[in-house]
Structure 1
Amino acid sequence: MAGDQLTVLNALDVAKTQMYHFTAIVIAGMGFFTDAYDLFCISLVTKLLGRIYYHVDGHPKPGTLPPGVAAAVNGVAFCGTLAGQLFFGWLGDKMGRKKVYGMTLILMVGASLASGLSFSSEPTAVMATLCFFRFWLGFGIGGDYPLSATIMSEYANKKTRGAFIAAVFAMQGFGILVGGVVALIVSAAFDHRFKAPPYSVNGLKSTAPQADYVWRIILMFGAIPALLTYYWRMKMPETARYTALVAKNAKQAAADMSKVLQVEIEAEEEKVDKIDEAGKNSFGLFSSEFVKRHGIHLFGTASTWFLLDIAFYSQNLFQKDIFTGIGWIPPAATMNAIHEVYKIARAQTLIALCSTVPGYWFTVFFIDIVGRFAIQMMGFLMMTIFMFAIAIPYDHWTKRENRFGFVVMYSLTFFFANFGPNATTFVVPAEIFPARLRSTCHGISAAAGKAGAMVGAFGFLYAAQSTDPSKTDAGYPPGIGIKNSLIALGCINFVGMLCTLCVPESKGRSLEELSGENEENDETGQAATTARTVPV
C-alpha cells in the first residue's frame, strides 16, 4: 500500500489472534444471536396466534390470521430493521461505534419484553400492539448490523478478519436454532401440563386457555441474551480506526489499543494531521468522488444483499407452509394449537441443526482461504441449482415416499445460503469502504437486504397461494402456487450471482488499502480502485 500506515493500525493488522478477538466475537455475536432469535421466532407462533385470536364464527377461515394481519406480524419487524440500519449506521459514523452500541441493545431488550406483554381483550388490539413493539424491536436489531460488523472489522487483523466477522454473523444460526429449541421446550411443557378439552371449534381441535402464555414466553425469551451482554459492550473501547481516522485523536487510539494488545504503541499525531491536511478522504457520501471510487462497490453489496434476502427470508419465514404443503407437518385440524407449535418448531429446529448452523461455520473456516468472492458465487450458484431441483419436479416431492428427499434438497439451499451470500454480504461491506463512511455504507447495504426481506415476507405470502381461487387461504387472492414461487426464487438467486461480479475481493488486505485511505496521489488511488474492483 502506498502511503504511511499509522503504527496503531498496522499493529492491529499484524496482531496474532488473541483473547480479545474472541471476546469481541462473543460480545458482538450475542447481539446477532438475539437478532436472529427475535426475527425468526415469530414464524413459530403465527399459526398459534390465529388459533387463539381468530377462531370465532364469522371469520372467513377460523383459526388463521387474516391476510393483512399475517403480513404485518411477519413483516413489520423488517420495516423497523431497515430504518434502524440506515439510522444507526449513519449515527455510528457521526458519534462513534461504542456510543451507539448500547442504545441498540437496550431497545432490543425493552421491545422483546413489551412484545410478549401485548395484552388486550380484543384480537385487533393485541395484534396492533404486537406489531408496534416488533417495529421498535426491529429498529434496535437494525442498528446491530452495521455496528457489530464495523467494530469487528476494525478490531481484527487482516489475516483472519473475514473469519472473525463471519463468526459474529454465525451466531445468527445459533439464534435460529435456540428459537426452535425454546419453542419445543415451552410447547411440550404446556401441552403436557395443560390438555385442551376434547372438543372441536370450527373444525379445529380446541385450544387450551394457557396457550396464550406460550407465544408470549417464546417472544420474551429474546431479551435475556441481549441483557447479559450489555455490560461487556459498554466496557469495550472505541475502535482505533474511528478514534484515529475519524475523531483524529491518535493519542487516545494508541492508549486504547496498547491496553487491548498489551504492547506499547506510539501516538503519531503528526501522521494523523498529515492525513487530515491532505484531505484525500474528505469527500461525502454519494459525491462524484465517492461514486468514482466506491459507487460500483456499493451497488454490488446492496444489490446482492437485496436479492439474497428475498430468497432467504421467504424460505425461513414460510417453511412451515412449505412443509405443510408436502405433508411433513400434519393438517391443523388433526392437533391442538400447542401441539402444532411443537410440530413446526421440531421441523425448523431440524433444518437449523442440519444445514443452517453448519453453513455459517463452513464460511468461518474457509472465508480467509478461498476468499469472499468465490464463496458468494458458489453459494448463489448452488442455491439456484437446488431451488430449481425442488421446484421444477415439485409434484414429485409432494408424494409421501419422496418427502425425505425434499427435506434434504431444501436443507441444502439453506446450507449454501449460509456457506455463501448470507454470510459474505455481511462481511464485505464492513471492509471495503472508508472508516468515516464504513458504518453508513454497511447500513445502506443491510437496509437493501431488509427491503428484499420485506419483498420475500409479503410477496411469498401471496405468491405461494394456489392458482385455483377455491383453494386459496381465506382473504388471499389467487397466487402462482408454491412451485412457481420456488422457481421465481431460483431465478432471483441466479441474478444475485451476476451482481456478485460487482463485489470486490477483500481477502488478505488491510482496511486502508481496500478503501483507498492513505494513498499518495489521485493516480495511485484510481489504480487501486480499479484493482479493488477485480476479484483476485
Structure 2
Amino acid sequence: MKFPWSGKVQLEPTTGENAKDSNVIERKIGLSKVGTIFASGASLFSDGYANAAIGPAGSIIKTYIYPDKFLKGSQNGSLLSSMAFAGIIVGQLSFGYISDKIGRKFGMLLCTGIVFVFSALQAASKGPGEQGTINALIAYRFFCGIGIGGEYPTGSVAAAESTENPGIKKNSQQRLFVLATNTMIDFAFVISYFVCLVCLWIFGLHHLNAVWRITLGLGCVPPLFLLYFRLKMVEPDAYKHNSMKNAPIPYLLLIKRYWLRLAAVSITWFLYDWITYPFGIYATSITDVVIPNGTLYETIGWGCLINFFYVPGTVVGAFVVDFIGPKYCMITGLCLQAIFGFALSGAYDKLVPNHIAGFAIMYGLFLSFGELGPGNCLGLLASKAIGPTAARGQLYGIAAAVGKVGAFIGTYTFPQIQASFGDVGTYGYNTGPFWLGSGLAIASAVITLIFIPNIKPDEMIREDAAFREYLAANGYDVSQIGIKDELFQVSVQDVSEGVGADADDKAIKA
C-alpha cells in the first residue's frame, strides 16, 4: 500500500522467508516477522485498559463526583461498569464477518480508529446536568467497546495466523501469541490503575474530575501508536492461501464439523470471563472491605497491586504453553485457581483484617493462575482449534462474544451475588464469590479435558488442509479458496496465449 506522499517507499514489508523491513525501527522490532504478531495483537492492550480503567475511575465518579446518582437502586453503577461489554459483543460478532470476508487488515485499521475516537470522547463526556454526563459516558463506552470487540476476530486472529508464517520458530508459536495478546491485556490492567494513581498524585483530591477524565482519555494512546505499524502490515499468509473472501462459506458443513469444539471453548470462555472481569473491575470494592477506612490513594494503590498479579501468571504461562500444549496448560491453571480460591475462602477470617498482605497475595495468586490457564489459552484454542482460516474470524468472534456475555452478566450482577451470600461485611458476603468462582473453575477444567483437543505447532496449516479435503469430499469446489494474485493470473493467461512461447522454447532447448 502506498500513499501519494510516500514516493518510492513501500509501506508494506514483504513477508515469508525473504521478509524485509524498511527502516531501523522496523528492523529492531522485526515488523515483517515477529513484530507483525505484536502489531496485530497488541491493540488488546486497549481492551484491558478500557475495561480495567473504569474500576478506579468509576469509584471516583460514584463516590466523589456524582454520589447522588449512584445511590442504592440506581442502574447507573451497573451500566457504567458493564456497558462496554455490550459494545464488545457487537464488535466481536460484526467484525468476525468483516475479518473473513473483507480482510484482517481492514478490520484492524477500522477498530483502531473507533477505539481512538471514543476513548478520547469518554474523557470529554458532557451532557445536560449530571445524569446527562453519566449517560454520555455510558454511550461512549458502548461505542468504544465495539472497536475493542472487533480486535478479537481481526487482530487476535491475524496474530495467531502470523505465528505460523515462515521464519517463526515452531517451539515459540504459542508463546508469541500469548505475549502479543493476553499479556498485553494484563499489563493494561496494571497500567490503568497506576495511571489513575499518578493522576491522583498530580491533581490531588480537589481535582478529581481531571483524574477520572485523564485516566479514561489516555486509552486513546495505544491505538494511535499502533496505527503506523498496522498501515505497513500485509495479510497473514494463511489468510491469503485459505480465505473464502471471494467464495461462499459453506456454513452447514462448517457447523457440522466444528460445532462441538466451538461450544466447548465458548462455554469455558463464558465461565472464565464471568469469574475474571468482575473480580478485576471490582478490585477497589473488595479492597474497600479489606481496608474499611482506607483513603482513595490506598484503595487505588491496592487495586494496582492486586491487578499486578495477573502479570506473572500470563508471563509464566506463556513459557509453559509450548511445552505441554494449551489444553493441559489451561487445565493446570484452572485447578490451581480453584485450590487457591477455596483456600482463600477458608482462611479469610484469619487473614482479614490482621494480615492484609496475606489476603492480597492469596487473592493475587487466585487471579494469576487464572491467567496461566484459561487467560492465556482460550484465545489460542479459539484461534487454532475450533475452525479453519476461511471462517476463523467468525468462529473466534462467536466464542469471544459468549465469553463477554459472561463478563457482562458477571459485572452487572456481582453486587447482587455478593449480597445473596449475606449482609455487607459478613463472612458469606466477603467469601461467597470465591467459593462460586472456584467451583466454576473446576467445571471449566472438566469441559476442557473432555471436549477440547490439544494443539501442536503449525496446527492451523494442518487443519486448513484437512478442511479442504473435507469440503472436497462433500462436493465443494475447493479451487475457489484463496486470494488469487491478479499478476499471477495475467501471466498465466499470457503464457496460454503464446506470449511465453519463446521462454518455453529456450527452456526445452536447455
TM over 0.5: yes
* 1:47 pairs with 2:59: yes
- Counterparts of residues 120-131 of structure 1 (less than 5 Å): 120=127, 122-131=129-138
CA deviations 1:216-268 (Å, max 9, x no partner) are 0100001012111112112101122222222589xxxxxxxxxxxxxxxxxxx
1:38 matched residue in structure 2: 50
Q: Offset at 1:125?
A: 0.8
CA deviations 1:272-323 (Å, max 9, x no partner) are xxxx9xxxxx7633x1x33332111101111111011111112101121221
Q: Offset at 1:166?
A: 0.6
Report the Cα distance in structure 2 between the residues aligned to 1:110 and 1:102, rounded to whole angstroms: 13
2:217 matched residue in structure 1: 220
**Contact 2:283 2:306 (C-alpha < 8 Å) held by counterparts:** no
Distance 1:522 1:489, change over 3 A: same
1:104 matched residue in structure 2: 111
Q: Offset at 1:386?
A: 0.9
Distance 1:326 1:437, change over 3 A: same
Q: Offset at 1:512?
A: 3.0
Q: Offset at 1:456?
A: 1.2
Q: Offset at 1:21?
A: 3.1
Distance 1:30 1:513, change over 3 A: closer
**Contact 1:391 1:487 (C-alpha < 8 Å) held by counterparts:** yes
* 1:495 pairs with 2:443: yes
**Contact 1:462 1:479 (C-alpha < 8 Å) held by counterparts:** no
Match of 2:196 among 157, 165, 183: 183
Report the Cα distance in structure 1 between the residues aligned to 2:96 and 2:472, rounded to whole angstroms: 30
Q: Offset at 1:403?
A: 2.1
1:238 matched residue in structure 2: 235
Match of 1:331 among 293, 307, 312: 293
2:126 matched residue in structure 1: 119
1:309 matched residue in structure 2: 273
**Contact 2:274 2:406 (C-alpha < 8 Å) held by counterparts:** yes
Report the Cα distance in structure 2 between the residues aligned to 1:455 and 1:467, rounded to whole angstroms: 17
Distance 1:291 1:181, change over 3 A: same
CA deviations 1:188-228 (Å, max 9, x no partner) are 1112xxx6xxxxxxxxxxxx2x2111100100001012111
Q: Offset at 1:405?
A: 1.7
Report the Cα distance in structure 2 between the residues aligned to 1:283 and 1:25, rounded to whole angstroms: 26
**Contact 1:466 1:479 (C-alpha < 8 Å) held by counterparts:** no
1:506 matched residue in structure 2: 455
Distance 1:125 1:507, change over 3 A: same
Distance 1:52 1:407, change over 3 A: closer
Report the Cα distance in structure 2 between the residues aligned to 1:23 and 1:65, rounded to whole angstroms: 48
CA deviations 1:511-531 (Å, max 9, x no partner) are 131355365468999xxxxxx
**Aligned residue identity for 1:161:** Q
Q: Please, what TM-score do these two structures have when normalized by structure 1?
A: 0.77
Identity %: 24
Pairwise CA RMSD of aligned residues?
2.8
**Aligned residue identity for 2:145:** G
CA deviations 1:2-33 (Å, max 9, x no partner) are xxxxxx99979xxxx96633312331243011
SS at match of 1:371: helix
Q: Offset at 1:133?
A: 0.2
1:168 matched residue in structure 2: 180
Q: Offset at 1:121?
A: 5.4
**Contact 1:466 1:482 (C-alpha < 8 Å) held by counterparts:** no
**Contact 1:463 1:482 (C-alpha < 8 Å) held by counterparts:** no
Report the Cα distance in structure 2 between the residues aligned to 1:440 and 1:410, rounded to whole angstroms: 35
2:505 matched residue in structure 1: none
2:494 matched residue in structure 1: none
Distance 1:247 1:299, change over 3 A: closer
1:531 matched residue in structure 2: none
* 1:319 pairs with 2:283: yes
List runs of 5+ in structure 1 lacking aligned partners.
1-7, 196-207, 250-275, 277-281, 473-477, 526-536
1:28 matched residue in structure 2: 40
Match of 2:302 among 347, 350, 373: 347
**Contact 1:104 1:140 (C-alpha < 8 Å) held by counterparts:** yes
2:3 matched residue in structure 1: none
CA deviations 1:390-422 (Å, max 9, x no partner) are 123433332x22322211111111111111101
- Counterparts of residues 453-464 of structure 1 (less than 5 Å): 453-464=407-418
- Counterparts of residues 303-452 of structure 1 (less than 5 Å): 303-327=267-291, 330-331=292-293, 335=295, 340=296, 342-353=297-308, 355-398=309-352, 400-432=353-385, 433-452=387-406
Richer in helix (by share) = 2
**Aligned residue identity for 1:89:** G
Report the Cα distance in structure 1 between the residues aligned to 2:52 and 2:264, rounded to whole angstroms: 26
Report the Cα distance in structure 1 between the residues aligned to 2:422 and 2:176, rounded to whole angstroms: 49
CA deviations 1:453-505 (Å, max 9, x no partner) are 01210121211127566x59xxxxx9962322221111111111111121111
Report the Cα distance in structure 2 between the residues aligned to 1:489 and 1:369, rounded to whole angstroms: 27
SS at match of 1:238: coil
Report the Cα distance in structure 2 between the residues aligned to 1:94 and 1:522, rounded to whole angstroms: 18
Question: Which region of structure 1 is more displaced relative to structure 2, 458-467 or 300-309?
Answer: 458-467
**Aligned residue identity for 1:174:** F
- Counterparts of residues 64-143 of structure 1 (less than 5 Å): 67-120=74-127, 122-143=129-150
List runs of 5+ in structure 2 lacking aligned partners.
1-13, 19-28, 165-169, 475-510
**Contact 2:46 2:222 (C-alpha < 8 Å) held by counterparts:** yes
**Aligned residue identity for 1:35:** D
Report the Cα distance in structure 1 between the residues aligned to 2:222 and 2:262, rounded to whole angstroms: 32
Report the Cα distance in structure 1 between the residues aligned to 2:391 and 2:15, rounded to whole angstroms: 17
Report the Cα distance in structure 2 between the residues aligned to 1:29 and 1:509, rounded to whole angstroms: 18
**Contact 1:152 1:165 (C-alpha < 8 Å) held by counterparts:** yes
**Aligned residue identity for 2:106:** K
**Contact 2:269 2:402 (C-alpha < 8 Å) held by counterparts:** yes
Report the Cα distance in structure 2 between the residues aligned to 1:128 and 1:248, rounded to whole angstroms: 39
**Contact 2:327 2:453 (C-alpha < 8 Å) held by counterparts:** yes
Question: Which region of structure 1 is more displaced relative to structure 2, 161-170 or 371-380?
Answer: 161-170
SS at match of 1:370: helix
Report the Cα distance in structure 2 between the residues aligned to 1:521 and 1:20, rounded to whole angstroms: 33
* 1:517 pairs with 2:481: no
